[in-house]
Amino acid sequence: MNPGVPLAFYGAGYPGGKIFNTAAFTNPPGQQGDFGRNVLRGFDGMQGDIWLQRTFRVTKKTGLRLRGEFFNMLNHPNFGSPTNNLTSPLFGRSTPTLADSLGSGGANGTFNPLYQIGGPRSLQLALELLF
């Protein structure tokens, strides 16, 4: 770490509101650096979910329930961890979204990115018959 150089720049012009300053880091040859654990953190995750439902009576003993569930309703982008390889041209930049960086689902046992925090806006509707 280079003393006196800021670790990150903050502003609306950067994806997620911040970017790591690549000039603040130096790769010391043949030794480990002096950076402490968890000095740099990735981006915050933010997601607003909501559900609405309404039950309609058809007869005295039967009814219909309509339910809508909305995930990431405001379609807020959530960025994954930045690239931490000093020699990479993408160092300090976050290229995947948070949902993509958590796993691709399927055989490796994680959830599909659509159903993880940070996925795109999605909704599902359900209609139930109650008796």
Give the domain ranges of the chain.
43-130
Give pLDDT, residue 63. 96
Residues lower than pLDDT 70 in the chain = 1, 15-16, 33-35, 40, 99-116
> 0.75 exceeded by the pTM?
no
Cα 41 to Cα 8, 19, 66, 117: the distances in Å are 10, 11, 42, 18
Give pLDDT, residue 50. 94
Give pLDDT, residue 51. 94
Cα four-point dihedral sign 18, 21, 25, 27: positive
Give pLDDT, residue 113. 61
Give pLDDT, residue 68. 96
